[in-house]
Chain A
């Protein structure tokens, strides 16, 4: 089983829509969780960290469900500029490396 699994999509949504992505992880002892964004042919950039209590940053909400070992990203009022690949990232407990999911591609359509 992969350390981090995501639905690759693509998700094609109209402007203004709400879209949610889930990501599952295999190591129940993982402690650090992140969402990164990667634009086409660009390097990944941190979108937001994911905290146990859930956290919000503008139109973006991240949640962690430890019992089911998944994290989610909710994007409200989608903008054309949200079109990108969203990468789920989880630490490997006992090591300092981070595992990236394969990413979920989002396309926001006018």
Chain B
């Protein structure tokens, strides 16, 4: 498939555990975004990667959240010591050029018990 791929699609974890969410963007897309969407809410910007530039981390809600993008392609969002309020759908999107059409993956639904 040529779309944005995210894994896992669903993750249930216990409070205090670490989780990793993966995003494989569309090949050739230089911009990659992470958003999260809580039930019935809008999309909350988390972090943005563009090529080899330093990522825009201004949306990360706490230092428990981090993300990396290796080789300008696959990205991993890590949440350490998960809390119940971290429960949400985490959406990854890629685009080229930046501010062009964002193509979203189907999301990773995280539930923290």
Contacts and interface: CB of A to CB of B under 8 A. Distances in A.
Interface in A30-49: 32, 36, 42-46
Given A43-B91, A46-B102, A97-B48, A87 B31 contact: no
In this complex, which of A32, A43, A46 has the most chain B Cβ atoms within 10 angstroms of its Cβ? A43
Contact of B106 (A43, A100, A101): A43
B63 interface: no
Interface string B31-59: 10101000001110100101000001011
B35 A100 contact: yes
A60 to B, nearest CB: 16
Given A32-B99, A91-B99, A98 B104 contact: no
Interface of A: 32, 36, 42-46, 87, 91, 95-103
State the 6 A-B residue pairs at the shortest beta-carbon distance, nearest first: A102-B42, A43-B104, A100-B43, A96-B98, A46-B101, A97-B48
